[in-house]
């Protein structure tokens, strides 16, 4: 295997019709580089800064604080996506705080009392707990 980091978009497989939803949720994070550890991310960031190569985002497969919340399973109910072997942790890391709703009215109604940090419609509209839509 290659030691080069892969881009998030390369390791996720999105079901037909869910492209807008996933793009709305992940946005620029689809272009983040996936690394094994935060140490690798810091080395990569230092390299990019030293060479003046612009900006880059990293996501580490290394777990912070052991993963799920209070032993609950973490994932996105109603979102049919799969990850390449070895990258399944990205589902929890990037989408573990998300719940899918059917439309804007449900998004706004549920957004006031949601247990999820982010709500998303199938069209890709996202509402987060800070009130950003």
pLDDT, tens digit (0-9, with 9 covering 90-100), for 74-127: 446 666 788 899 998 998 888 888 888 777 777 667 655 666 678 888 788 887
What's the CA gap between 13 and 16, in Å, rounded? 9
Residues 115/15, Cβ–Cβ less than 8 Å? no
Mean pLDDT on 50-77: 69
Q: What pLDDT was estimated at residue 114?
A: 60
Reduced to 3 states (helix: H, G, I; strand: E, B; else coil), residue 89 is helix
What is the model's pTM? 0.75
What's the CA gap between 130 and 110, in Å, rounded? 14
Question: Measuring CA to CA, which residue among 132, 94, 121, 74 is closest to residue 12?
Answer: 94
Element (H, E) at 97: none
Half-sphere exposure of 64 (CA within 13 A, CB side): 8
CB neighbour burial string for 65-84, b if at least 16 within 10 angstroms, e if fewer: eeeeeeeeeeebeebebebe
Tell me the percentage of the chain whose pLDDT exceeds 90.
Answer: 35
Q: What pLDDT was estimated at residue 1?
A: 47
Residues 22/91, Cβ–Cβ less than 8 Å? no
Question: Measuring CA to CA, which residue among 39, 42, 36, 44 is closest to residue 86?
Answer: 36
């Amino acid at each position: 295997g290659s030691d080069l980091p892969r881009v998030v978009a390369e390791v996720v497989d999105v079901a037909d019709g869910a492209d807008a939803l996933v793009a709305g949720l992940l946005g620029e994070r689809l272009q983040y580089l996936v690394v094994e550890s935060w140490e690798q991310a810091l080395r990569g960031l230092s390299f990019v800064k030293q060479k003046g190569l612009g900006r880059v985002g990293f996501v580490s497969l290394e777990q912070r604080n052991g993963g799920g919340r209070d032993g609950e399973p973490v994932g996105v109910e109603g979102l049919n996506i799969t990850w390449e072997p070895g990258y399944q942790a990205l589902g929890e890391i990037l989408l573990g705080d998300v719940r899918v709703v059917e439309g804007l009215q449900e998004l706004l109604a549920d957004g006031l009392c949601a247990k999820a940090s982010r709500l998303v419609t199938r069209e890709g509209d996202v509402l987060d707990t800070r009130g950003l839509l």
